[in-house]
Amino acid sequence: MIVLLGTKGQVIKVASVMKEMDRLNIPYKYVQTNQHPKMNAELEKVFGLKKPDLYLSKRKKDLGSPSEIPIWFFKCLVRVFTNRALFKNEDFMIIQGDTISTFMGCIIGKLFRMKVAHIEAGLRSYGLLDPFPEELIRYVVSVLSNILFAPTDYALENLRHFSGLKFHTGQNTVYDILAHFLDPDSKKADYIIAAIHRQETIYNPRRFKKAVEVVQRASKIKKVIYILHKTSEQQLKNTGLYDSIKNNPNIETTGYKDYLTFMKMVSQSEFVISDGGGLQEETYFLDVPILILRNRTERKYGLGETACLSKFNDKVIEYFFEHYPEFRRKDKFVRKYPSRKIVSVLLKLKKFYNK
């Protein structure tokens, strides 16, 4: 088996699967594309993961602008073939999510005739450009994968026309990590978290301006802690929006936080403003209201409960600000151990294919 990851989100969501394989003494090779090298290394240490058997990229900085992707992608593929002995005779290629690394792992798996197993399959926004390229990657990987692990009923239904073997994991694997490290009933603090970093937001001046206006509006309710990635900070400066944030006494900007520190901050916040899909899942577990600054979402978690999809509609945004305490889970969270289910299925299929 090969596990191929590249982003911090992928490491977070597959860590529990890797730990389960470690627990059962199942041998596997861990391959890293290094989209987020520093953060990945930190997370591997926090979660107690083995070091990668192969780095497809030796880059020290995060993969930033879209213009960097083609050269990075090509160099990774070259390194695959110069290390092809590592990939030969492996039976499964395990990939996750909807990143460029997901697509790369899928292609590598098919080239070496492995069975491609896609974790978190079936998410759909049904808007090809929203988000892009994630929605396109989801579709292509669903077509090419042999095994599809869907985290929800909605995701499973979206896979009904695809030929791969389909399995319902009951939940997203991120809940295994959150349940292990965090207390969803932690004491609340008096602040709001803002995390806005997706490319379709920060590289769209009109949308980015709207997002900043929402953060400014939230700062009239409570103090806002605005998590600024370097690319987001640069785009604030490029669009002339930086001063409006820095000069607001009720907005505190801070840089990247390690995952568990950030999740603890989220768990204690009054509510979250974000354009990310992952936080929609995490806030559902933590029972924290979230205002999603997107037109569409590929996830159903929390909608109508903890999550409010703004569609950048002023009336919807204002309604959330006035009623955010009401955005809570309807039912008690019940853990379903999706990582165990995934590993169990892979073991059964491994025996079946090797008969």
145 within a domain of the structure (yes/no): yes
Would you call the peptide bond into 325 cis, given omega within 30 degrees of 0 as the criterion?
no
pLDDT, the chain, mean = 94
Q: Which of 281, 97, 276 is nearest to 184 (CA)?
A: 281
pTM of the model: 0.89
* 140 and 215 share one domain: no
Task: State the pLDDT at residue 198.
Answer: 87
192 to 198, 200, 264, 265: CA distances (angstroms): 19, 23, 13, 9
Q: Is residue 331 part of a domain?
A: no
Say yes or no to pLDDT of 157 above 80.
Answer: yes
* Sequence-separated (6 or more) residues with CB below 8 Å from residue 61: 37, 38
Regarding whether 64 and 173 lie in a shared domain, the answer is yes
State whether 166 and 299 are in the same domain. no
Give the pLDDT of residue 129: 73
Q: In this structure, is residue 46 part of a structural domain?
A: yes
Q: Do the domain assignments include residue 40?
A: yes
Task: State the Cα angle at 116 between 114 and 29, rounded to 5°.
Answer: 70
Task: For residue 293, give its domain range.
Answer: 185-326
- Cα three-residue angle 232-236-239, rounded to 5 degrees: 130
Share above pLDDT 90 across residues of the chain, in percent, rounded to a whole number:
83
Both 168 and 205 in a single domain? Answer: no
Residue 22: pLDDT over 90? yes
CATH code assigned at 215: 3.40.50.2000
| Residues β-bridged to residue 273 | 194, 291
Residues 276-327: pLDDT tens digits? 888 999 999 999 999 999 999 998 889 999 999 999 999 999 999 999 999 9
163-202 pLDDT, tens digit per residue, is: 999 999 999 999 999 998 887 676 778 999 999 988 889 9
Burial tier of 110 (Cβ tally within 10 Å: 0-12, 13-18, 19+):
middle
Residues 154, 203: one domain? Answer: no
Structural domain count, the chain? 2
Structure tokens given for 299: 């996830």
Q: Are both 65 and 134 inside the same structural domain?
A: yes
Q: Are residues 88 and 196 in the same domain?
A: no
Same domain? For 94 and 190 the reply is: no
Q: Quick one: 171 and 210 in the same domain?
A: no
Collapsing DSSP states into helix, strand and coil, what is residue 333?
A: coil
Condensed to tens digits (0 to 9), the pLDDT of residues 47-97 reads 999 999 999 998 888 887 778 999 999 999 999 999 999 999 999 999 999
Same domain, 217 and 306: yes
Q: Which three-class secondary structure string do you get for 181-250?
A: HCCCCCCCCCEEEEECCCHHHHCCHHHHHHHHHHHHHHCCCCEEEEECCHHHHHHHHHCCCHHHHHCCCC
Within-domain flag for 48: yes
Q: 248 Cβ partners below 8 Å, 6+ apart? A: 216, 219
CA distance 47 to 290: 26
Asked if 134 and 222 sit in the same domain, the reply is no
Does residue 5 carry a pLDDT above 80? yes
Same structural domain for residues 216 and 342? no
DSSP element (H, E) containing 117: strand 115-119
Residue 298 lies in a domain: yes
Which residue type occupies 118?
A: H
